[in-house]
Amino acid sequence: MASLSEIHMKNFKSFKNSKLKIPDGFTAILGPNGSGKSNTIDGICFVLGKTSAKSLRAGKFNQLITYHNGKRENFAEVTLIFDNKDRKMPVDSDKVGISRKVKINGDNNYYLIWNEEKEVKENGEIKTVKEEKRKKVKKSEILDVIGKISLSADGFNIILQGDLIKIIDTTPNERRKIIDEISGVAEFDEKGEKAKKE
């Protein structure tokens, strides 16, 4: 299964320029109050396409941009790098990055990042090198790519504070819907319904 291997944050909340590597296996983020644990999770949710700034604990999207000494930077950008060796994401690259940038005027853009192999001549020898490619994409394309590894901003792969109580309080029917969503069954139900209508 594809896994998140790195989180890069530039001018995002309390992170001026941070590159976080995530080791394989269980990962916990530890730190004193106000050190940026929740901001890191907000960063992940931001890239996955959250449509509400409030759910990222900001009044507006441009308030996610680092504010320091009475001044705000011009933009904030967070990039998630996934290990895609199993090609679960439909991009022909071992590493796939997805990124979201918000500018001070509130504009939001999404980017897809991948590696392409290129042959170069060095001292008369032909060598294969990896070249990083990056293109601006629509949000729907990002949602499509992350959907292939069962990720979504509003899905149940991220359980935020308070979500657990909400799940406990749901009716059995609603709880069944949540389980269908997590197990990936819901996607087939939706496709089945769509096919019936066609």
Residues engaged in binding Mg ion (CB under 5 A): 37-38
- Taking the complex as a whole, the smallest distance from the CB of residue 33 to ligand ATP amounts, in Å, to 4
- 162 in a labelled binding site: no
**CA separation for the pair 166, 104 (Å, rounded):** 34
User: Residue 95 touches which of Mg ion, ligand ATP, none (CB < 5 to 8 A by kind)?
Assistant: none
Q: From residue 97, how far is each of 12, 33, 47, 72, 79 by CA, in Å?
A: 17, 30, 10, 26, 6
Gap between the Cα atoms of 79 and 95, Å rounded? 12
Q: Is 13 in the site for ligand ATP (CB under 6 A)?
A: yes
Say if residue 49 carries a ligand binding annotation. Answer: no
Name the minimum Å distance from CB 104 to Mg ion.
25
132-191 residues in contact with ligand ATP (CB under 6 A) are none
Considering the complex, what minimum distance in angstroms separates the CB of residue 105 from ligand ATP?
16
Tokens of 20: 């976080």
SS3 assignment, position 183: helix
Phi, psi of 3 (to 5 degrees): -135, 155
Helices 185-197 & 172-183, crossing angle to 10 degrees? Answer: 90
- 19-48 positions binding ligand ATP, by CB under 6 A: 31, 33-39
Close Cβ partners of 73 (under 8 Å, ≥ 6 residues apart): 11, 65, 66, 104
Site string for ligand ATP, 65-84 (x = CB under 6 A): xxx-----------------
Q: Is 152 annotated as a binding residue?
A: no
Q: Taking CB positions, which residue lies at the least distance from Mg ion?
A: 38
Q: Is 36 annotated as a binding residue?
A: yes
Is 62 known to sit in a ligand binding site? Answer: no
Annotated binding site: which residue ranges? 32-39
- Give the footprint of ligand ATP on this chain (CB under 6 A): 13-14, 31, 33-39, 63, 65-67
